Amino acid sequence: IAAGALTADDHSLVVLPFAHLFGLVVAGLAPLLAGGRLTTMERFHPVRAIDALGDVTVLVAVPAVFAALVSVLGKRAVKLAGVPLRVAICGGAPLDARLQDRWFDLTGVELRQGYGLTEAGPVCLFNRVSLPNARGSLGVPFPGVSVEVRDPASGRAVADGVVGEICVKGENVGPGY
């Protein structure tokens, strides 16, 4: 709730399925725990989603959803005007920097990327709303979560900028992981 600066005044449009933890926890439960309200879509459709943004302040989705929304906004050749959207959260897959830039150009809202996994309930890293959005980054670890990038073969930590496996540790991580 704190990472997304969610409040009781927020209205979230939920386009993700609750069958996945990202949809259930981040898109659904977090806004409710903050006291906000939800509008759900039975099935995502980009035109209907944009038309539903009227008083929406929070949108949580995967890159494919944001790409579809950007495509529709680009075809309409209009920016989102008069919509109070203030938080856009992306996860579930890598976020292309061009999509992130285009989203901002069309909406004026930073697209904030995070990283998590079901076994970690589900968020480990996030570009918190209280910090400048670090485009191209997964953000900072949640409190109580430590993150290290390791060489998959040796298990040793790698230097900054070196490709490796993301390893997380914390009370949020399920036993055995």
Strands 123-126 and 140-141: antiparallel
Please give the helix or strand (H or E) that residue 87 lies within, else none. Answer: strand 87-90
Is the Cβ–Cβ distance between 53 and 83 less than 8 Å?
yes
Is the Cβ–Cβ distance between 124 and 172 less than 8 Å?
yes
- How confident is the model at residue 144, as a pLDDT? 93
Both tokens of residue 50?
């944009």
Q: Which amino acid is at 26?
A: V
How far is 163 from 74, CA to CA, in rounded Å?
A: 34
Residue with tokens 């879509």: 41
How far is 81 from 63, CA to CA, in rounded Å?
A: 22
Model confidence, pTM = 0.93
Using one digit for the tens of pLDDT, what is the confidence trace for 58-111?
999 999 999 999 999 988 866 676 689 999 999 999 999 999 999 999 999 999
Using one digit for the tens of pLDDT, what is the confidence trace for 139-166?
999 999 999 999 999 999 999 999 999 9
Exposure pattern of 34-49 as b/e (b: 16+ CB <10 Å)? bebebeeeeebebeeb
Q: Determine the length of the chain.
A: 177
